[in-house]
């Protein structure tokens, strides 16, 4: 069999179609889940979120989010000037939405809350604190490595 340009062209198109089919098959194996199931609503309500960020930035004492790997805890130190906070703490896993954990804000008399990370898988997590104190809403987000 003599190799000519016809065989080369057929080999090229066969390899091209094979690679294209492989890429389509591979793309069906990828999870295309969105970060939020309610992304349209989140976009519409972004001004409220922005106002919470500005309120938190204007505090004289910032909310402290500290991780303690030895005790497997995330420590939240709320500002004393605000009084008793109410809201929620969301431990958000960017790589898998089904791992998210939501905890209600329940501080002690010093304004400290400890959130256990014992049952969480190691990796990158975002601690999102959405709280209200004195009738003013606040929001702070920080990345922790567990």
Domain ranges of the chain: 1-30, 39-145
Q: For residue 142, give every residue at least 6 positions away whose Cβ sits within 8 Å of its Cβ, in sequence order, or none.
A: 65, 126, 127
H-run or E-run covering 128: strand 124-133
Joined tokens for residue 100: 């998210």
Predicted local distance difference test score (pLDDT) of residue 121: 85
Joined tokens for residue 87: 């809201």
Predicted local distance difference test score (pLDDT) of residue 21: 97
CATH class assigned to 39-145 = mainly beta
pLDDT in tens, the chain (146 residues): 688 888 889 999 999 999 999 999 998 887 666 566 777 887 888 899 999 999 999 988 889 998 887 778 899 999 888 888 999 999 988 877 678 889 999 988 888 889 888 888 888 889 999 999 989 999 999 998 88
Predicted local distance difference test score (pLDDT) of residue 43: 83
CB of 120 closer than 8 Å to CB of 91: yes
Compute the distance between CA of residue 140 and CA of residue 64 in angstroms, rounded to an integer: 9
CB of 129 closer than 8 Å to CB of 56: no
What's the pTM? 0.70
CB of 130 closer than 8 Å to CB of 52: yes
């Amino acid at each position: 069999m003599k190799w000519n340009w016809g065989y080369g062209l057929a080999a090229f198109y066969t390899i091209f179609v094979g690679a294209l089919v492989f890429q389509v098959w591979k793309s069906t194996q990828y999870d295309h889940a969105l970060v939020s199931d309610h992304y349209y609503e989140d976009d519409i309500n972004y001004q409220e979120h922005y106002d919470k960020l500005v309120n938190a930035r204007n505090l004289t004492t910032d909310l402290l989010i500290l991780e303690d790997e030895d005790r497997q805890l995330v420590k939240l130190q709320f500002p004393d000037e605000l009084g008793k906070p109410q809201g929620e703490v969301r431990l958000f896993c960017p790589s898998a939405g089904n791992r998210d954990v939501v905890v209600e804000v329940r501080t002690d008399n010093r304004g400290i809350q400890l959130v256990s990370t014992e049952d969480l898988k190691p990796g990158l997590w975002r601690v999102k604190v959405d709280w209200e104190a004195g009738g003013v809403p606040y929001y702070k987000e920080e990345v922790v490595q567990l």
